[in-house]
Amino acid sequence: MFRNIPPILNAKQLLDQSIRRTKKIQIHDREKRFEIKKIVIARTVAFITDLLSQLESYVKNFPSIDRLPLFYQEIIDIKIDTNKLKKSLGAVDWARKTVEMVYMTQSSSLTKSGNVEFLKQKQKEIYGRVSSIVKQVDKNLVFLANAQKILRTFPDIEDIPTVVIAGYPNVGKSSLIRQLSAAKPEIAQYPFTTKQIFVGHMEKMVRYEKKRYQIIDTPGLLDRPLSERNKIERQAIAALRHLADLIVFIFDPSETSGYQMNDQTLMLENIQKLFTDVPFLIVENKVDIKDTGSANRKISCITGEGIEELRKEILSILN
């Protein structure tokens, strides 16, 4: 989704690139004086127009945040900071307009003059002014380049029926995604292995047509108020809030995850209070270690027990 943004250079790289490009411009005239004049003018114009088109493309090609789906808006605020992002885009746009103004007010004095020394002096002056404008927004360009790097790591979310897997850390959420889809999120025996949203897909034949579903892995959540949640946990909450048509909540009754059932139960209750209009499917994982005998669905991501039944149940709820 965010892979097509052109690379954003910092001030020095941008100025160096534009100067390098203009050096290639050569013009021949039988009269040396005219030749120099034409070259100076052509290079100055090319330098500025190249810069202008770069600056314009940075702002124009950046996704307009307010028009993105709400999930992305929230993830951008968590991982990048929407305010700073808007300020940086504004600053780069200011630089473009200011460079344009310099060009409009100065370029006529270039064409009017026949004096080569004066022309060269004028060219130096314009380069100096334009460079100082671009350097003023260097930190904004660096911020945008970094934001762009972060955007590229975002998962591609489609507008199709979606199940979000949630639960305490280390209970087997990523293991379940691996069982139910072709996605291969990292699995490890320590908490907080998953640090961002991961997307897998499931399919079902509906009247001779293949229907696709999304299954979303989230970072583990602890039972605490939203205001105390870190950026990794807040991504899980954003996925639950904006993407879930069904929430599969995973318990680990074996407590080999390192978290007690008491705490896991409290968290489920709190999450249920937050998302009252989404159906919940409560699942106990690691039944190969511990079977509680409760009425909840039981699975094992190690032996595969209960996985196919769970898949069917998820697909029948999602429809």
Ligand X SMILES: Nc1nc2c(ncn2[C@@H]2O[C@H](COP(=O)(O)OP(=O)(O)OP(=O)(O)O)[C@@H](O)[C@H]2O)c(=O)[nH]1
Q: Which residues of the shown chain bind ligand X in the complex (CB under 6 A)?
A: 169-175, 187-189, 191-194, 219-220, 285-286, 288-289, 300-302
In the bound complex, what is the minimum distance in angstroms from residue 293's beta carbon to ligand X? 17
Which residue matches tokens 């005219």? 34
Which residue matches tokens 């489920």? 268
Of Mg ion, ligand X, none, which one sits near residue 181, judging by CB under 5 to 8 A according to partner kind?
Answer: none
Indicate the length of the chain as a whole number. 319
Cα separation, 217 vs 304, in Å, equals 18
Which of 102/302 has CB closer to ligand X? 302
Which of 37/298 has CB closer to ligand X? 298
In the bound complex, what is the minimum distance in angstroms from residue 222's beta carbon to ligand X? 10
- Please answer whether residues 104 and 52 qualify as being in contact, where contact means their C-beta atoms are separated by less than 8 angstroms: no
Of Mg ion, ligand X, none, which one sits near residue 49, judging by CB under 5 to 8 A according to partner kind?
Answer: none
Which residue matches tokens 């991501």? 301
**Which residues lie across from 253 on neighbouring strands?**
none
Which of 161/169 has CB closer to ligand X? 169
Cα separation, 57 vs 22, in Å, equals 19
Cα separation, 296 vs 170, in Å, equals 19
In the bound complex, what is the minimum distance in angstroms from residue 175's beta carbon to ligand X? 3
Which of 161/219 has CB closer to ligand X? 219
CA angle 319, 249, 207 (to 5 degrees): 15
Quick one: which of 198, 205, 152 has its CA closest to 177?
198
Of ligand X, Mg ion, none, which one sits near residue 151, judging by CB under 5 to 8 A according to partner kind?
Answer: none
* Interface ranges with Mg ion (CB under 5 A): 173-174, 193-194
Helix 11-23 with 32-61: angle, nearest 10 deg: 140
Of Mg ion, ligand X, none, which one sits near residue 171, judging by CB under 5 to 8 A according to partner kind?
Answer: ligand X
10 Å Cβ neighbour count for 39? 18
In the bound complex, what is the minimum distance in angstroms from residue 233's beta carbon to ligand X? 10
In the bound complex, what is the minimum distance in angstroms from residue 299's beta carbon to ligand X? 7
Of ligand X, Mg ion, none, which one sits near residue 276, judging by CB under 5 to 8 A according to partner kind?
Answer: none
In the bound complex, what is the minimum distance in angstroms from residue 302's beta carbon to ligand X? 4
Which of 128/304 has CB closer to ligand X? 304
Of Mg ion, ligand X, none, which one sits near residue 63, judging by CB under 5 to 8 A according to partner kind?
Answer: none
